[in-house]
Structure 1
């Protein structure tokens, strides 16, 4: 694994995962999608995060898909692999694989199955992984999304990990979607630990504080727009970009997010196979897709503009 000299550079789309009719991963379409995003200026890609339904796939499926990305021409050094899982041994297997292929790093949730666990237990879970990997190339980006995982990362946990494992933890993806929380993390830890927000409207604020990029779901179809917000937050395009993004997010509030994002891809590409999701998510049906089309159009977000 090539050790990064700084935290996440640029926008790394949180890849949506295309599926075959039997709901297996479509490696060819995943790779084509990733190549297109890199060609559009993305710094790299992040497979199997929340947006990519990562926890709905087995260790073997995830490893095979990441291998397919590399075989399909995606440089491993431009892949941030989400290696979270319920079982520590599965996290270890995914993390070792990321190291073996030379990935940029690993994105990792706190242990999420048990709720009400102590800060000490959360820190020890990360430390076990670091100790088992025992490789100086290991780079981990912490992943804070308590509204989904049910478990978050306190500042005490982060301080403990930084003290125990210097150089291993290179950033935190803060997807709590509360600007005050992101600002508090930045005040406490930047520049030692870069805070990258998952909430796109907060990107300019964090960019002005030195955040160097982000893992973004909207970047699946708006990579350049999302990139501008964090990397050139005072550009003349910022106000218009923010308006487009906040309008889209407001519209998407009436949908389950991941099926809706896949719906946008289906509308953009004229390809209904993008709609497929694994249970417990439920795909948009024909009526839902038509409603999404109408909502986008009513907001001035015509399908041919979502690119």
Structure 2
């Protein structure tokens, strides 16, 4: 028997744009906490209700548990309210995912984003369900404080979240599973999730050109990589899907994504941040990613300046 949805469930999920933060690095490739905090404050000042740390855009699995815990603590110490932080706690080892989730919840963050198990491939739906259950059940007395968002990005993980997995987890944990972040970048798949689940939880997409379509179907926000430097545009795409300016802004976003196609995405996004901020910390990446070469950065800078990004309106 399906548990009836909690009427307060949808209102508990996040709304607005919570940028998928890029992670600035020092010369020793440690996290530059001061630059990250300044970036978060800038995004919140530009209207973002919160920020998301250590997702795919933030190179999350490239950092240790200790580094990830410290980064959350440093953000809070540097003035970012815990309730305005979303943490991707995904690790290859489930005990580490649980430890990071416990840490995030104890710090008072808004919620946690969790990938399915991503090291082994060809795993069954039951194995995926069991992985989420390991973490959720492991929260013990802190479970009522946990807000979890399922993270679907199969082109990176090699593991999909089926409708059966989502429905089963939602039924078993109706007050814990609040939403799905669908970063498969396939419009039909996102629409299918919205049609199947939007009544009981919120479906968010990571592919910005799909935001107007999802906004019409009830999506209330996004965790977006482009929102690191154009949060207002991304917000308008999902919250004002039928505004007269939306088609042109959507085409502008599509053009920008096309301009980045010839680069590795995360180093290119960091290159844009370096260009806009003048901070070299943004150019550095953790292996296995490779930073832009000097020639690549020069070419990207020329391209982006011609494209034009306006911090006042974007």
| TM-score under structure 1 length normalisation | 0.96
Q: Among residues 53, 57, 77, which one is paired with 1:51 in the alignment?
A: 57
Q: What per-residue deviation string (whole Å, max 9, x for no partner) do you get for residues 30-61 of structure 1?
A: 01100100000011000000000000000100
Aligned to 2:67: 61
Please tell me whether residue 130 in structure 1 is matched to residue 120 in structure 2: no
Q: Among residues 37, 45, 53, which one is paired with 1:39 in the alignment?
A: 45
Aligned to 1:281: 289
| Residues 10, 201 of structure 2: 8 Å contact kept | no
| Residues 161, 169 of structure 1: 8 Å contact kept | yes
| Residues 7, 212 of structure 1: 8 Å contact kept | no
Q: What per-residue deviation string (whole Å, max 9, x for no partner) do you get for residues 214-236 of structure 1?
A: 00000000011101110111222
| Residues 206, 230 of structure 1: 8 Å contact kept | yes
Aligned to 1:255: 263
Aligned to 1:119: 125
Q: How does 1:1-307 map to 2 (within 5 A)?
A: 5-134=11-140, 135-298=143-306, 300-301=307-308
Unpaired segments ≥5 residues, structure 1 = none
For the residue of structure 1 that corresponds to 2:23, the secondary structure is coil
User: What RMSD over aligned residues (CA atoms) do the two structures have, in Å?
Assistant: 1.5
Per the TM alignment, residue 239 of structure 1 is displaced from its structure 2 partner at its CA by 2.0
| Residues 230, 309 of structure 2: 8 Å contact kept | no
The verdict on how the C-alpha distance between 1:302 and 1:69 changes in structure 2, with shifts beyond 3 A counting, is: closer
Per the TM alignment, residue 286 of structure 1 is displaced from its structure 2 partner at its CA by 1.1
Q: What per-residue deviation string (whole Å, max 9, x for no partner) do you get for residues 153-191 of structure 1?
A: 000101111111121100000000000000000111112
Per the TM alignment, residue 7 of structure 1 is displaced from its structure 2 partner at its CA by 2.0
| Residues 40, 224 of structure 1: 8 Å contact kept | yes
Aligned partners of 1:306, 1:18: CA distance in 2, in Å?
A: 24
How many positions carry a matched residue from both structures? Answer: 304
Aligned partners of 2:174, 2:277: CA distance in 1, in Å?
A: 44
| Residues 121, 158 of structure 2: 8 Å contact kept | yes
Aligned partners of 1:130, 1:41: CA distance in 2, in Å?
A: 31
For the residue of structure 1 that corresponds to 2:204, the secondary structure is strand
Aligned partners of 1:4, 1:129: CA distance in 2, in Å?
A: 22
For the residue of structure 2 that corresponds to 1:94, the secondary structure is helix
Aligned partners of 1:306, 1:255: CA distance in 2, in Å?
A: 26
| Residues 15, 220 of structure 2: 8 Å contact kept | yes
| TM-score under structure 2 length normalisation | 0.94
